[in-house]
Structure formats: C-alpha cells, structure tokens
Structure 1
Amino acid sequence: MTFDRLDLVSKLYQPSGWPRVLEAAAGQRSTGPLVVDLDPTTFCDLACPECISGKLLNQGRFTPERLAELAHELVEMSVRGVVLIGGGEPLAHRGTRKVLQILGEAGIAIGVVTNGTMIQQNLDELAQYASWVRVSMDAGTSETYGIFRPDRKNRSVFDKVIANMRLLAEAKKGALGYSFLVMTRRQPDGTVVSNHHEVLTAARLARDIGCDYFETKAMFDDEHHVIQVSEDILGSVDEQLREARELTDDTFEIVNSSTLTSLRNRVGPVQPKDYQRCPVAELRTLVTPSGVYVCSYHRGNPLAKIGDAVTEPLPDIWAASDRGIVDPSRDCRFHCARHRSNLELHQIGAGATASEPSVDYDPFI
C-alpha cells in the first residue's frame, strides 16, 4: 500500500488508534498517547548556527538505566510509535541502542531524526528496528554543509555522514530519508548566503545513496514561525524540485513539507487558530531530559511542561497532567503541522467522520 507520509489527517483513521482518537475528539482525557517524541539527550556534536534548539542543548540528562525504564513505560502505555529526536542528537546517548531494541522487540514503530554522524555506531539496531530514519543534511556538497552544519571544531563532516547513510541504505529494513531545510543567512557584511541552489544536487545524491525519499522544508525562527524567502529563491527551489521529480520511481520519492507549501501560498508566518484546546495533545507528547511537554513545538517552554520524566514514571505523569494548559488560539500562532488534524478531530467530535478506519499503515500521526 502506498501512502502520503505527510498526510496526517488520513492517519487518524486507523483502527488500532481509533478508540483514543475518539476520546480526544470528544474532548476527553486520553488513556495514553499514540505517539511520543523522545529526546534521549540534549547533547549534540554539531554546532549549527541556525539550530532551533540551540538554547536548549546540554540541559539535563537521562541515565542509561532511566532511559531503558522509559522505553518499558512506553510499551506499558501501549504507545504505537516513538520518534527519537532532539533537542540534541538522539544517537549520541549510549543508551539509545537499548531503547531501539526494547521498543522494536515490543512491536512499536520507531522513527529516528538524526544528523547522521553516529549511524555506524548504532547501525545494527537502526537497520533492524527503525521504521524510518531521517537524516538532516541541508546541503548537497561538503562546502555548503560546512557553512550550515559545522561540527564543534568548525569542520564539515559531510563525507562521513554520506558514508554512514550508504551503510544504512545497504542494511535497513525501514525507510531512509534525506532532509533538506532551505536556509538563508545574512552575514555581518550584509551579504546573504544560502543553500537553496543545492536542492537538485542533494536530491540526486539522496537517490544515489539509496534513500527512499528526499524531503524539502522551510526554515523556522526561534518561535516556530516559518521564515519567508524571496521569490527568486522560492522559484529556484521549485524549478529544481520539478527536475528532481524525474528521479522518482517505485523506490524513491520527492516529499514536500507543509511548510514549503505555505511559502508557495504566501500565507505568512502566523497561522491563526480559533480553538482553545489541542486534541492532538491527547494523542502525541514530548519527553525530554528537561521535562515532559505538551508537544514538540513547546520544547523547553515551562508553561507547557507537564512533568519530569527523569524522576517520575511516565504513566503517572500522564494520569495526573492537564494537557489543556496550552491554548492554541493564544499560544500556537506559529505554523503547526497538526493544525489540520485538530480541525479534523473537532469534526469527528461533532459526528462528521470522513470514513470508518479499515487498516493500519502508519502510526506516526
């Protein structure tokens, strides 16, 4: 079965998650999240100047033992999907391999968002258990990579990451993605540097590596508003993507994120919302060493923190917490990938379901 991995609304209509979807749609407290974003660590070995989580790095930690306990708690809560993400670099924690094993052997779908520098050290577990691995690249050459994704010694590790991706492409059971964030930077002298000219080069490289998909995305500011780009840059990206579509076949696809679509439609950085409660917060949550938060958009926001998973069991946090502490109409005026899902959930709650769920195909709502 083929599917649009970014069609989050359709993913609501799957039988294994439907009872909790109905709870959330009815405005009830769900019995547990369907998907958990888990930051194993707040450490990262790169020093990307535009990192949206830069101010949150190196804050708190899970011991390997507590991280393994968390994995067992996720199994206990009947979570369907876990995304290892950050924050920091998820593969940098020495306990991540055990987490992959625990979740994978329990049949929980696993996604991994990584910078790719430590794929080799985690290769066996990633190849065996990951449903998908998405590598944040943002470049098609070592030179551009070094400008936007330097390591802590200001070096480009592009060749190392590409070699790691080739290793995973050979061994993987799940999907491998090449992620390209369209970026611009104004230098102190007023000149602007960008990576936009390498979209096609990167797409070709992704296919050569053996990736299953190539994804382009727009850049966010620190408050998750989509950063607008010039017509020239957007036109260049679109022209390259049109050419890149000639690379697609049954084994390789070009994926456009909703953020890039918003740039094309010139909707601006603000996404107004007229509802006061986020139903998706009952279905998806974020667990980090610095706290458990209502969602990943509010990572590090003390007003959206619902517990401390370093010291408290996650089932206890979920049972006691109020996921309604965030008011989307007030607190979420940035672009949210799950805004349409929230609108759909309100429709489901009103009895206007689009269809009866028939088959499970992708738990990452």
Structure 2
Amino acid sequence: MTQLYSNLKFLRFRPQLDALTHEGLAAPVHIRIKPINRCNHNCWYCAYRVESLTLGEAMSTEDVLPLDMMHGIVDDIIEMGVRAVTFSGGGEPLLYKGLPDVVRRLAEGGIKVATLTNGSNLKGAMADAFAAHGSWVRVSLDAWDDQSYADARGVAADSFTRLLSNLRAFAARKSDCVLGVSFIVSETNAPHLAEVCRILKDVGVSHVKVSGAVVSNDREENNAYHRRLHAIVAEQLAAAKRLDDDTFRIVDHYHELEDRFEKGYTRCPFLQFLTVIGADGSVYTCQDKAYTESGHLGSLRGRSFREFWYSDENRKRIAEINPALQCRHHCVAHRKNLVLNEYINVDSRHIEFV
C-alpha cells in the first residue's frame, strides 16, 4: 500500500521551493477553505471552541463564506494553478449548502478536492459530490459506541450508529475517493482504540490515522496528559495494527506529540505551500492559527484572493511571521519547517557535495 501521509510531499513542488530561495512568492500548493463556522457537534477538544486552547480566539460561529465570494475564490484558485483544496472547520464543512457545486467546479478546473468532516452529512448530494470528484474524505472520531459518542460531542444518542451507516454507504460506492478516519486519542477512549478500529475496518474505511488530543497550549501539560496514556495506547495500537492488510491500515501519528511546541527558527517557509481561507473572508497562515490575530494575513473583502495573495501587503505580512515568538503552540507544519529551513540555509557554494 502506498503512503498517504508524509512530511516530505512539498519536495515535489519546484516553483514553491524556488520562490523560497529567490525571495519570490508562488501560488500556494494547497488551500484549506473553512466555508462555515457553524457546527452540529460540540467536541470537548475542539481548538475553536475550548477555553483552554487559544486557537480560534477570534472565530464567530455565525460566519459563513458568501457563495459569490466562494465562486470568485474558486476561479482564482484554478487560474493561479493551486493544486488542492481541503474543506474543513471552523464548523462542519458539509453543512455548507453550496458545497457540492463548488466541489464539482474545482474538480472540473483540475483541482484535487478533499474534506475533513464529522461525517454526519456525508450522504445525499454531499456524498455524491465527493464520491465523484473527491481525492479523500477523512472523518474525525473519538468514540466507540453511541453513548461515548454522545458524551464526547453532545449529540443525539444514536449518532454513532448513523455515522457508521454513512461510512458504510460511502465505502460501498467503491469510488476512487479514499475514505479514512482520524481517531483522536484521549484518556477516555484510549482503552477502546483497537475495538473501534475493528468496527471501522468492518464498515469499509481504508485507514485510521491515530493522533493525540491537544488538551493545552502548554507543551508540558499536553505531554504530561499523554504520558499517562502511553502504555495503554501502545498496547491498543499493537492490537489495532494486526488488522492491517491490503485494504486497511493503521497510521500511527500518536508519537508525534513531543516536539511540536517550541520553535527554534524565525521563518515559516511552509506558508509558501499551504494557506487557509476562513468563513469570515480572511486569509490565515495555517490551520493552527486560523481565526487568531497573530495568524491573520489579510481580508478578501473588496478584492480577489489572487489580488491579495500577490500583494505587497501579503508579502510583508508573511515576512513578519516569526514562529519562535508567535507559534509556541501545536503546529502541524513544524517538522516540514525544520526540513525547509535547512534546505533554504544550505550554502549554495557547496550544494554539489551531496
């Protein structure tokens, strides 16, 4: 089975690498669009809704990206040569009513499309659109039965059963769209990890990505929480990995929690590869800093995404981002930035000595 997840995918994109070494600015490879901030779930660990996490501090749950603005963004994305778009939260992206047509427009323009979703609305026209045009769908999960799901998310008692029905129906389509699950490990669900992986394999999910819940902005607090779980998670992961075969696999990202808070570099080169557009019509540095003042690059009100991206304002704002000072929190791009900063700082007089 080929590798779906990697910190080295960016190495395939020469225009962006060249822009970094020549002080230029290319189009991003990948854009996350958060079309709506309303959500029908209330997950206890959601970075946008939990008081103990400062991420998303400026988010309004009332914000929805206007459809005409969305269509303009889609046109710009296609024209600029962006390669992929992922719809995520914010809120629950599949609650955005115009999304099926947006997905179709992007796909017809040569853009690969994906979504991160709670899966509750992965049915009907939404499921049709992603089955026909999507590259992947990844469903967030943190429970193993109806009661635990209701407790974790504040939803109806039969919601887990209905989610499994949606997953089973989507998998049965046998489309090219890869259906995966992101399982968020906590002290409550850790003993049930292998159990839920068996359930997910049975309904037809292709893989389960396992990672730890971020419970604090403080690195030591976060690591102390997960240190208590290491033994049981290791045991459960070993049992879950015995389910691996040609149709299903466990992707273990639980071990990546340790080194993501402190940053020893002053530039974020990964901004050249990925950016975020929020439901408020603003552009942000990344998913970890969406809806925060420190992550705000600029607004699209009154101008197109293309106009903003190549503007002096955006170039200046990107140059001002200092991860050592402004990003002392969870960062999905940290390992990529370590590689990119080393790449940028190699002495060009000695590059031939590989």
Would the TM-score normalized by the shorter structure come out above 0.5?
A: yes
Contact kept, 8 Å, 1:289 with 1:309, in 2: the verdict is no
Q: Is structure 2 residue 318 aligned with structure 1 residue 323?
A: yes
Report the alpha carbon displacement of residue 231 of structure 1 after superposing the two structures with TM.
Answer: 4.7
Question: What SS does the corresponding residue of 1:229 show, helix, strand or coil?
Answer: helix
* Structure 2 partner of 1:170: 172
Q: Is structure 2 residue 293 aligned with structure 1 residue 302?
A: yes
1: distance between equivalents of 2:144 and 2:342? 42
Report the alpha carbon displacement of residue 285 of structure 1 after superposing the two structures with TM.
Answer: 0.5
Report the alpha carbon displacement of residue 353 of structure 1 after superposing the two structures with TM.
Answer: 7.6
2: distance between equivalents of 1:162 and 1:63? 32
* Structure 1 partner of 2:182: 179
1:145–1:299 distance in 2 versus 1, CA, 3 Å? same
Stretch of structure 1 that moved more, 243-252 or 301-310:
301-310
1: distance between equivalents of 2:328 and 2:294? 16
Contact kept, 8 Å, 1:30 with 1:283, in 2: the verdict is no
2: distance between equivalents of 1:353 and 1:63? 48
Q: Is structure 2 residue 145 aligned with structure 1 residue 141?
A: yes
Which has the higher relative contact order, 1 or 2, with Cα contacts under 8 A spaced 6 or more apart? Answer: 1
2: distance between equivalents of 1:199 and 1:13? 33
Question: What SS does the corresponding residue of 1:296 show, helix, strand or coil?
Answer: coil
Report the alpha carbon displacement of residue 27 of structure 1 after superposing the two structures with TM.
Answer: 6.0
Aligned AA for 2:167?
Answer: M
* Structure 2 partner of 1:44: 39
1: distance between equivalents of 2:261 and 2:131? 38
2: distance between equivalents of 1:335 and 1:51? 13
Q: Is structure 2 residue 92 aligned with structure 1 residue 64?
A: no
Question: What SS does the corresponding residue of 2:24 show, helix, strand or coil?
Answer: coil
Question: What SS does the corresponding residue of 1:144 show, helix, strand or coil?
Answer: helix
- Fraction of identical pairs, as percent: 26
Report the alpha carbon displacement of residue 333 of structure 1 after superposing the two structures with TM.
Answer: 2.0
Q: Note the 1:1-80 alignment, pairs <5 A.
A: 2-3=2-3, 5-9=4-8, 11-14=9-12, 17-24=13-20, 26=21, 28-54=23-49, 56-80=59-83
Q: Is structure 2 residue 235 aligned with structure 1 residue 236?
A: no
Report the alpha carbon displacement of residue 310 of structure 1 after superposing the two structures with TM.
Answer: 4.7
Stretch of structure 1 that moved more, 229-238 or 133-142:
229-238
* Structure 1 partner of 2:198: 204
Question: What SS does the corresponding residue of 1:31 show, helix, strand or coil?
Answer: coil
* Structure 1 partner of 2:271: 281
2: distance between equivalents of 1:205 and 1:29? 48
User: Structure 2 length normalisation: TM-score?
Assistant: 0.87
1: distance between equivalents of 2:36 and 2:240? 35
Q: Which residue of 212, 219, 230 maps to 1:218? A: 212
Deviations 1:210-246 (A, max 9, x none): 1110111111136485453355522111111101111
Q: Is structure 2 residue 108 aligned with structure 1 residue 109?
A: no
Question: What SS does the corresponding residue of 1:303 show, helix, strand or coil?
Answer: coil
Question: What SS does the corresponding residue of 2:210 show, helix, strand or coil?
Answer: strand
Question: What SS does the corresponding residue of 1:2 show, helix, strand or coil?
Answer: coil
Contact kept, 8 Å, 1:218 with 1:227, in 2: the verdict is no
* Structure 1 partner of 2:255: 261
Contact kept, 8 Å, 1:149 with 1:156, in 2: the verdict is no
Contact kept, 8 Å, 2:212 with 2:226, in 1: the verdict is no
Structural RMSD (CA)? 2.3
1:228–1:310 distance in 2 versus 1, CA, 3 Å? farther
Q: Which residue of 148, 159, 162 maps to 1:160? A: 162
Contact kept, 8 Å, 1:224 with 1:297, in 2: the verdict is no
Contact kept, 8 Å, 2:107 with 2:113, in 1: the verdict is yes
2: distance between equivalents of 1:131 and 1:252? 17
State the number of aligned residues.
Answer: 334
Moved over 6 A (4+): none
2: distance between equivalents of 1:22 and 1:119? 39
Contact kept, 8 Å, 2:283 with 2:296, in 1: the verdict is yes
* Structure 2 partner of 1:345: 340
Deviations 1:58-85 (A, max 9, x none): 1422122222222121111211111110
Report the alpha carbon displacement of residue 330 of structure 1 after superposing the two structures with TM.
Answer: 0.7
Aligned AA for 1:284?
Answer: L
Deviations 1:230-267 (A, max 9, x none): 5552211111110111111111110012xx2145xxx3
User: Structure 1 length normalisation: TM-score?
Assistant: 0.85
Q: Is structure 2 residue 254 aligned with structure 1 residue 251?
A: no
Deviations 1:154-193 (A, max 9, x none): 6451111111111111123121111110124xxxxxxxxx
The gaps in structure 2 that reach 5 residues or longer are: 50-56
2: distance between equivalents of 1:292 and 1:143? 38
